[in-house]
Amino acid sequence: MGIPHLLNHLRSYASPFVLSSGGRDANESTAIVDGPGLAYHAYYRALSRRTNARNALEAAPSYTELGGIAVEWLQTLEQHGLRM
C-alpha cells in the first residue's frame, strides 16, 4: 500500500531532525501524520504485543486498543515538541 516513490519525491522538501526529550520551538516543529500510516503503525504495534496468540484471529486487536496506541503515539510526538 502507498504511493510508489513518494518518499523519494518528497525528501528534498523534508527537514530531518532527531527528537529529544527537551523538544524544539513549536513554530518550526510541525509534523504531518499520514492517517493510513498511523493506522498500520498502531496495528503492527498491537500485533507485536501478542506473543502467545495461536493464530491471526486470536492476535487481532480491538478498535479500542488500536485507538489507544494511536493516541499514545501522537502524545509522544507532542511531548517532543511537535505540532500535528
Q: Is residue 41 part of a domain?
A: yes
Residue 2: pLDDT band (50, 70, 90) is: low
- The number of domains in the chain is 1
State how far the Cα of 2 lies from the Cα of 37, in Å rounded to an integer. Answer: 9
Cα end-to-end distance, the chain, whole Å: 23
Residue 54 lies in a domain: yes
In a domain, 43, yes or no: yes
Kindly state the percentage of the chain with pLDDT values over 70: 85
DSSP-based three-state secondary structure for 56:
helix
* Containing structural domain, residue 60: 32-84
Q: Is the pTM of this model over 0.85?
A: no
Partner residues linked to 30 by β-bridges: 83
User: Which pLDDT tens digit goes with each residue over 68-84?
Assistant: 999 999 998 888 888 87
